[in-house]
Structure 1
Amino acid sequence: MTPLDKPLRRAITVAGIEYTLLIDPDGLRLTQKGRRNGVAKSWKELVGDDPSASQEPSAADLPGAG
């Protein structure tokens, strides 16, 4: 298995909107293409002991929603 020791960027399209997904040792960040702010989650938030953090994100959590 390859360790995640540097950032990995990928372009994805969700519902016709382009996003950049950044995966790094700190966690995940999903940002709408051309924007600066996005949704960020640390690995601890995703797999931690807090039950509310392990819930699936809603559409309202995505950039550009609402």
Structure 2
Amino acid sequence: MTPLDRPLKRELAIGETLYTLTIDPDGLKLTEKGRRKGVELAWKDIVNGDAGLAAALQASMGAR
């Protein structure tokens, strides 16, 4: 296996909107193309089953 030791970025189309998916050793981040803020999930949250809770918390903090 190739270790994940630096960020890996890929463009992703969801509907008609383009997003950037960044995967790094800490977790993953999905942002709308050209934006800085997005949804971040840590690997430990995914493994522990807390990914849904972490995403909901981020969404509620961003809605303010």
Shift of 1:3: 0.6
| CA shift digits 1:12-34 (9 cap, x unpaired) | 00011000000000000000001
Mapped to 1, the partners of 2:31 and 2:51 lie a distance apart of: 20
| CA RMSD, 1 decimal | 1.8
Residue in structure 2 matched with residue 43 of structure 1 by the alignment:
43
State the aligned residue count. 55
5+ residue gaps, structure 1: 62-66
Mapped to 1, the partners of 2:51 and 2:32 lie a distance apart of: 23
5+ residue gaps, structure 2: 60-64
Residue in structure 2 matched with residue 64 of structure 1 by the alignment:
none
Residue in structure 2 matched with residue 6 of structure 1 by the alignment:
6
SS at match of 1:4: coil
Segments ≥4 residues shifted beyond 2 Å? none
Larger helix fraction of residues: 2
